[in-house]
Structure 1
Amino acid sequence: MKLPGIKGFDEEALKKYFKNTGMLLIGKVGSLAIKMLSSIAVANYLLSYGNGILTTSVSYVFLFAALAGLGLDQFIVKELHQYPEKREQILGTAFSLKSFAGLICIPLIYVAWLIYPLEGIKYSHIFLLSFMGIFQSFTIIDSYFQSEVKSKYIMQVQIIGNLVSAAIKVGLILMHSSITFFFIAYLFDTILLSAGYIITYNRKGRSIFNWKYDFSLAKKLLTLSWPLIISGIMVSIYMRVDQIMLKQILGDKGIKEAGAYNTVVMFSEALNFVPIAIVSSLFPAILNARRDDKVRYQKRLQNLYDLMVWLSLSFAIFITIASPIIYKLYKPEYISAAPVLSVHVWGSTFVFLGVASGQYLIAENFGHLSFIRTGLGAIINIVLNILLIPTMGMMGTAIATVSAYFASAFFILFIPKLRQQGIMMLKSLFLVTAFQKIFKR
């Protein structure tokens, strides 16, 4: 059966861009399956309290991930697509900027810890994780292969890296290792992935030693990306602050709840990479339509929104039905998270639509609105968490998250210039365009 929403991209575009998307999805799904199995094993080994310490620490450091990334990845792909002859300058400049930002994050995390420490969690563990930002600088190689529509190479790196990572974690479990070794393993995952990117890049006849720093290009990239840096920080807050707030508001009980809630987030957000992979591959085709044919441009956007809704609704319905079965994979102390998963997963629809409309904002040079919409989502999430966690625990957190995702996605309805896109998203959400296509046949 064909999904409504795919029709509208011409056959050539589908072949070219969905082949690359297919490679991205295969790599992500393979990596995801491996990571989920190893995460379940780690959660069962550490139990909810230990898993809460580990995952809350990761969430704490992740709040700084957007600053380390500088929001550059999307612009790197765009720059490489437009100026392939400047590859060495683009990659070298982006790497230098991201490396410096990752380095700056280490003392920033320490200062944040002095101001707002997490009781029951050691700073030494946070310190280990704070080095992840430096090694993540090599993700620009991922952007390079995306611009070349050759994501199969990144797929190979991710699958191999996750296999090695899973083997290490299983080994730690079999050796009855302390929780500190699992923090080291998290850091090693980033190092391993970076090494894989470098090796793959060099095997294709390239060399990272040919990269060059260009000051004027750095200014350009930072000027373009600063709204996305702020937006990314806001996204980090409203996607990761939940676990931290659970732990801080509920105390010791909150650490266990945070450990259980992490399993919810892992399954609920399992396919959040799908809209990113699809949009990353289709964005060049959408940009071409914007340049050549405005009618086709709007049609492709509507079809993209339709596709996002169909994929996310299918996923949400499946997870809702399967949640009791999923938690049979865990030890009994995690079972209370099953109904929370059934609520949290419905936020995926708004995440999918938000990713798609975010690309429209970039195409139309409305990138500065990204941090406003995500800022709104972050504020709503924090306020609702404060109100709901004391009485509802992690179920309140799930409700707060879904509400924040909805507000962030449909914020554009209140911007006159963007209202039409919001209406298009609503038509997709309520399956209006899907029924229109069915009755036209």
Structure 2
Amino acid sequence: METEERLSISAKGSATILQNVIGGLSGLVALFFIARYIPKSFYGMYAFVLSLYNLYLFMVDLGVSSAYIKKYTERKYSHDDLFNTFMSMKIVLSVLIVSGSFLLVYVILPYFGYRLFDATTQELFNTMLIWILIEGTVLSVLGSFIRANMSYVTANLISSAEAVARAILQIAIAFLYKNKLIGGIFAAEMLLITFILSRLLNMTFMLLLSRRLILRFKFSLKLEIVKDILRFSIPLAITGAVIIISANIDKIMLGWIFSSADVADYNVVQRYAKFISNIAMGISQIFFVKVSIDAMNKSIPEIEKYLKEWEETIAIILAPAVPLAYALSDNLIIIFLSKQYVTASNTLFVLVLTYILLAIRSPLSSTFLSFNKQWTAAGIAIFANVLNVILNILLIPVMRSFGAALATLISVGILGSLLTYIMLRKIGLKHLGVRSHLYLLLGLPLFPIAYVLKPYLYRVFTFLPAVLALYIAYLIVMRVLNVLDKEKFEIIMGMLSIKNLKRTFIDELERIKNNSQ
């Protein structure tokens, strides 16, 4: 591999790590203050409505944004016609979904004697719906266009800035509540407002990068483009609907069956698991983009060789997360949350294991697209996530938050991976999956070490350096044993430095400056 190419991959990896260290950790720092100062019941209201927000954000898109990016790269239509039609479709979808929701909640259900929310949660729900009307049109449209024209590094840094701004505002709210300057219900409402304000910051960055684009928008629905977009987006919409319901059914059910405090219990440990997952998933996607480029126009055996090599590398990189999460989950909860959440340590470990399995296999879904098997990928996702919804319905009433985590592990984690590898065999890729998952066992020697150190790692200034040192030591041992070859070792170690990121980011700023002139 050329030095420039290796540095580019390292820089993208650094961007992923930086986004999660800056953006992810800032969110976790905010969660630290929220968990200590704001009662779980009030934080749970915010987390519950945020799950509904994720559901609505999908409903006002239905795969149309992905279709837009696809058609934009094909250059089949003039950009003005494509953009105007796309944005007009988003406006129509957003207005229909939001107005339909208000009609359902305030007219149809009350007419039959039903009420979805209590008065407090309903206020947050109303605020969320109004914001969805804005984000579903302007912000998501800008985001789709920018993602088609922006580097991975810059997109991640904008997301980091949004997360930092949100964290600062939420920390301020936690201190206001601690000092009895605001009440609990108002604190929950303000947490939602801070989320909206941080999204507005994201919108501001997008506007600065694409201000000329918005000025030339005209409402227009060209039938040919609408049909073309819908043909591409319908499979995505069907798959996405199942996935988004599956991803949020846990917190929604916990909120409806039990209480907002139960939502808070599950949400906080899920946030930490997703912090690990986002780094893993980002690094995984970077490597597989490299694979897809290298494997272009290759034979099936050559493609399989590429995929197998990098899939196993991803597993080696992520292996330490499994034993460390099992040994130190309660340390993490006590340090960054509070002792009242320690009972959720098993839930945290199960979620981390699930997300690691997802990170190893998720990029392989794009392999189906390369063989024009998009319905195969969609079918796997639909089956796994429908099963997840069913298991959540069965397990949550009995096991609460642990039941939600276990349902996700069984359906999306284990069965989803099994189905993926079975279907890959049907298109000729017969040697993927087995060794990569066995490589997860390479991290097991870290468990006794972490367990011995565990009593000394209940302070942030001992916990973080110890975990980082264990991970770097693990990588060095893998290199000495030649499990990781020199090229991959240099890429991974390059991700732990921001030197390559800085160089790539400066180049990106120069490109944006030139494009805006």
Q: TM-score normalized by structure 2?
A: 0.72
Structure 1 SS opposite 2:93: helix
Looking at structure 1, the residues matched to 267 and 86 of structure 2 have their Cα atoms a distance apart, in angstroms, of: 32
Looking at structure 2, the residues matched to 437 and 109 of structure 1 have their Cα atoms a distance apart, in angstroms, of: 58
User: Which of 270, 273, 282 is residue 275 of structure 2 equivalent to?
Assistant: 270
Letter in 2 for 1:337: A
Residue 411 (structure 2) aligns with: 404
Residue 219 (structure 1) aligns with: 227
Looking at structure 1, the residues matched to 240 and 84 of structure 2 have their Cα atoms a distance apart, in angstroms, of: 22
Looking at structure 1, the residues matched to 45 and 343 of structure 2 have their Cα atoms a distance apart, in angstroms, of: 18
The alignment status of 1:394 with 2:369, answered yes or no, reads no
Higher mean C-alpha displacement, 132-141 vs 187-196: 132-141
Unaligned 5+ runs, structure 2: 443-477, 487-517
Residue 56 (structure 1) aligns with: 48
CA spacing shift, 1:129–1:427, aligned 2, 3 Å: same
CA spacing shift, 1:372–1:64, aligned 2, 3 Å: farther
Deviation at 1:136, TM superposition (A): 5.0
The alignment status of 1:27 with 2:19, answered yes or no, reads yes
> Contact 1:35/1:166 (CA < 8 Å) preserved in 2?
yes
> Contact 2:250/2:404 (CA < 8 Å) preserved in 1?
yes
> Contact 1:412/1:418 (CA < 8 Å) preserved in 2?
no
Letter in 2 for 1:155: N
Residue 170 (structure 2) aligns with: 169
The one-character-per-residue Cα deviations of 1:234-288 (angstroms, maximum 9, x if unpaired) are 1112211111222333x34xx3222111011101111333455346555654444
CA spacing shift, 1:139–1:65, aligned 2, 3 Å: closer
The alignment status of 1:248 with 2:256, answered yes or no, reads yes
> Contact 1:361/1:370 (CA < 8 Å) preserved in 2?
yes
> Contact 1:99/1:135 (CA < 8 Å) preserved in 2?
no
The alignment status of 1:209 with 2:219, answered yes or no, reads no
Looking at structure 1, the residues matched to 406 and 76 of structure 2 have their Cα atoms a distance apart, in angstroms, of: 45
Looking at structure 2, the residues matched to 419 and 78 of structure 1 have their Cα atoms a distance apart, in angstroms, of: 24
Which is higher, the Rg of structure 1 or of structure 2?
2
Q: TM-score normalized by structure 1?
A: 0.82
CA spacing shift, 1:341–1:291, aligned 2, 3 Å: closer
> Contact 2:288/2:310 (CA < 8 Å) preserved in 1?
no
CA spacing shift, 1:64–1:363, aligned 2, 3 Å: farther
Identity of aligned residues (%): 15
Deviation at 1:78, TM superposition (A): 4.6
Looking at structure 1, the residues matched to 153 and 432 of structure 2 have their Cα atoms a distance apart, in angstroms, of: 33
The alignment status of 1:424 with 2:424, answered yes or no, reads no
User: Which of 291, 296, 302 is residue 296 of structure 2 equivalent to?
Assistant: 291
Looking at structure 1, the residues matched to 96 and 361 of structure 2 have their Cα atoms a distance apart, in angstroms, of: 30
The alignment status of 1:385 with 2:392, answered yes or no, reads yes
Deviation at 1:214, TM superposition (A): 7.1
Where do 1:60-75 residues align within 5 Å?
60-72=52-64, 74-75=66-67
Residue 38 (structure 1) aligns with: 30
> Contact 2:88/2:221 (CA < 8 Å) preserved in 1?
no
User: Which of 322, 326, 341 is residue 320 of structure 1 equivalent to?
Assistant: 326
Higher mean C-alpha displacement, 430-439 vs 286-295: 430-439
Residue 459 (structure 2) aligns with: none
Higher mean C-alpha displacement, 387-396 vs 70-79: 70-79
User: Which of 172, 192, 197 is residue 183 of structure 1 equivalent to?
Assistant: 192
Looking at structure 2, the residues matched to 141 and 260 of structure 1 have their Cα atoms a distance apart, in angstroms, of: 35
Where do 1:111-130 residues align within 5 Å?
113=105, 114=109, 117-118=116-117, 122-130=121-129
> Contact 2:313/2:484 (CA < 8 Å) preserved in 1?
no
Looking at structure 1, the residues matched to 325 and 245 of structure 2 have their Cα atoms a distance apart, in angstroms, of: 25
Residue 200 (structure 1) aligns with: 209
Looking at structure 2, the residues matched to 80 and 335 of structure 1 have their Cα atoms a distance apart, in angstroms, of: 48
Higher mean C-alpha displacement, 325-334 vs 96-105: 96-105
The one-character-per-residue Cα deviations of 1:386-432 (angstroms, maximum 9, x if unpaired) are 33233322212211111121222332345476465575123321239
Letter in 2 for 1:132: I
Deviation at 1:356, TM superposition (A): 0.8
Could you say what the CA RMSD is over the residues aligned between the two structures, in angstroms?
Answer: 3.5
Looking at structure 2, the residues matched to 354 and 282 of structure 1 have their Cα atoms a distance apart, in angstroms, of: 12
Residue 260 (structure 1) aligns with: 265
Higher mean C-alpha displacement, 73-82 vs 341-350: 73-82
> Contact 1:308/1:349 (CA < 8 Å) preserved in 2?
no
Looking at structure 1, the residues matched to 374 and 271 of structure 2 have their Cα atoms a distance apart, in angstroms, of: 29
Residue 512 (structure 2) aligns with: none
Structure 2 SS opposite 1:368: helix
Looking at structure 2, the residues matched to 239 and 46 of structure 1 have their Cα atoms a distance apart, in angstroms, of: 25
Structure 2 SS opposite 1:360: helix
> Contact 2:304/2:431 (CA < 8 Å) preserved in 1?
no
